[in-house]
Structure 1
Amino acid sequence: MRDVAIIVPTMRRPESLARALGSLFAQTGVENRLAAIVVVDNDPQATAEPVIAALRAASPAPLILVHEPRPGVATARNTGLAATDAPLIAFLDDDEAADANWLSALLAGLDHTGADVVFGPIRGQVPEGTGWTRGYLERFFGRQGPSETGLLDHAYGCGNSLMKRATALPGPAPFDAASDQSGGEDDVLFSALAARGGRFGWAADAWVDEFAPSHRATMKYALARAFAYGQGPSQTAARDRRWGGVARWMLIGAAQTAVWGAASLGLTLIFSPRRAETLDRTARGIGKVLWMRGLEPHFYGARELARLSKA
């Protein structure tokens, strides 16, 4: 029964896309489950075609290329979903490469937990020359979880995940396009799923590597992302008009900012590498306080397209 489609959004990353697809072609134990690999080219100039043309013959399942000229992470995911009717949807980012047993481990995790969504662990990979921040950045771009497969009490991000379409991805466009430029579309999706009584699971053996490019493997980028992550719970509460929840998260954020900000100052004065972690926690605290729309950093869509055009 071919019941799984893998969706890979991409924008002007030909080498990275080829690496991601090569890892999907090498998946083992899922020959009778994989219905399609869907690549969503989110570049208005449709630059992914040469990569797909070169690799299509090697694909173990139909390799579908769809063009979504409107840059945005949520819109790209929605477009990928529209290209397949598979009941199970896996997501892999174009800067990731999956272990050979990745999809089979996700499927086993879904069966074992009975969850609506299962997530897998990520090894963060950063370029040489990141100096004292290397360990922090590898953890930042990675994802650690329980050592054994089982249910979770919270969600992670869409990268390296498997979802039941009927329950986790309702409607024709389940990802919120308002998050196209800043990200966080998965926060909205999973918050709504939790409110409906959905369950989250962890597949401990479903490993992928995430390769951070040099322009992202910096403290400036990581702290901007940490700030955006901090905004998430406050923005979710505001979206649901739970103003008491907003106030609670803002108070938590203020306390985190004070505590971790003081720790960061002390560690900076003695040049301790541990200051990277405390600066991260400080940025997340500030994000909970300064959650308002218009203050989100932009990492995707038009901003990323503009950066790539200048590169």
Structure 2
Amino acid sequence: MSRPDVSIVVATYNRPGLLANTLSSCLAQTNRLGLSLELVVIDNHPSLNGEPVVAELAATAPFPMRYVAEGTRNMSTLRNRGFSEAAGRFVAFIDDDEVADPDWLDELVSAARDRDAEIAVGPRLAIFEAGHPPAYDPQGAQFARDLHLPDHALVDLTAASGKPRYGLGTGNSLFDMERCFPNGEAPMRLAFGDAGGEDAELFVRLHREGRRIVWAAKAQVTEIVPVHRTEVAYRLIRTRRETQHYVSIYIDGARHKRLAWAILTAKGILQLAAGAVIATALFEFGSTTRARGRLTMAHGLGKLSWKNPVGYIQEPNNPA
């Protein structure tokens, strides 16, 4: 079999129902570009409950599907396995709780070709299981990814100081393997795999090395946000963890690391203090609908505690 143009990679963990929806959307791609495709599923759950899902869909799939078991509980190892298993020139990642639009892959590849970019990324829209965004975020902006850039605009990911401007993840992304990783090196650093932020670090590192990232505004995927992820307690710990990732990545690539650390520490103290004042004034403590001040505090705590990362966040044990 000749080398496929694109390998679609899905890493999954204990979500067979959602995985089926994700894979079905990948198999239903319009593919107006006439790309040769393959679909690779990397299953990280000990039960291997994604295997029957892949087997059922592969029986009638319009292009090859492969199932791979990877038991190591490290996100960098898991995603690196996805990169290594992929045979295509391009590797497209989509998360196992996302559903792709029919022209998703065409739009990613078109954007990369149009701007001769090594990487393309697209928006992630949010549909809320509860039927509406949480009261503390009525627009649902915290649960979506939209850089608000023109279609096919190049993404200037970091400032001259090394400060990341955006947080990008591998969900809804496309990599030109030969141009991004010419020496065959493992893309993601294992040091970030336990604490998280491994994919955000990868984007920032590649951008600093001169790879071009293009924004594919029409390459849309949709994520269904479960109720528990909109609860204030969950959002606070998630915000703290994301801020810790931001600080780790910022300091790792900063020209003047001590200065960057000092600035971030000062900002963290200010955010913690200001957030406490806001939360007190708005009677937020104990509220399930108000979180403005406490989210500011979470940002501050993330900056001050970045050396003690949150790591994995316990999710409900729901195989759907």
Matching of residue 152 in structure 1 with residue 164 in structure 2: no
How far, CA to CA, are the matches of 1:298 and 1:271 in structure 2?
24
Q: 1:162 aligns with which of 174, 178, 193?
A: 174
Q: 2:19 aligns with which of 17, 20, 43?
A: 17
Contact 1:23 1:99 in 2 (8 A): yes
Cα distance change on mapping 1:268 and 1:116 into 2, 3 Å: farther
Percent of residue pairs bearing the same amino acid type: 32
Unaligned runs of 5+ in 1: none
Q: 1:38 aligns with which of 37, 40, 48?
A: 40
> What are the superposed Cα offsets for residues 58-86 of structure 1, whole Å, 9 maximum, x if unpaired?
32221111100112322211111111231
Matching of residue 98 in structure 1 with residue 100 in structure 2: yes
Q: Which residue number corresponds to residue 226 of structure 2?
A: 213
After TM superposition, the score normalised by the length of structure 1 is: 0.86
Contact 2:40 2:66 in 1 (8 A): yes
The 10-residue stretch of structure 1 (11-20 or 222-231) with the greater mean CA deviation from structure 2: 222-231
How far, CA to CA, are the matches of 2:16 and 2:292 in structure 1?
32
Q: State the 4+ residue runs in structure 1 displaced beyond 6 angstroms.
A: 270-274
1:274 Cα deviation (Å)?
8.4
Q: Which residue number corresponds to residue 186 of structure 1?
A: 199
Contact 1:9 1:93 in 2 (8 A): yes
Query: Secondary structure of 1:258's match?
Result: helix
The 10-residue stretch of structure 1 (65-74 or 251-260) with the greater mean CA deviation from structure 2: 251-260
In the alignment, residue 201 of structure 1 is paired with which amino acid? V
How far, CA to CA, are the matches of 2:136 and 2:268 in structure 1?
26
Cα distance change on mapping 1:128 and 1:240 into 2, 3 Å: closer
Q: Which has the higher helix share?
A: 1
Unaligned runs of 5+ in 2: 158-165
After TM superposition, the score normalised by the length of structure 2 is: 0.84
How far, CA to CA, are the matches of 2:262 and 2:149 in structure 1?
35
Q: 1:248 aligns with which of 263, 271, 278?
A: 263
> What are the superposed Cα offsets for residues 106-141 of structure 1, whole Å, 9 maximum, x if unpaired?
112212333322211111122227785374583222
Contact 1:267 1:274 in 2 (8 A): no
How far, CA to CA, are the matches of 2:76 and 2:122 in structure 1?
21
Q: What pairs with 1:1-311 in structure 2 (closer than 5 Å)?
A: 2-30=4-32, 32-128=34-130, 132-133=134-135, 135-136=137-138, 138-146=140-148, 148-149=150-151, 150-154=153-157, 155=166, 156-169=168-181, 171-240=184-253, 242-268=257-283, 275-292=290-307, 294-299=308-313, 308=317
> What are the superposed Cα offsets for residues 213-233 of structure 1, whole Å, 9 maximum, x if unpaired?
333232222221111111123
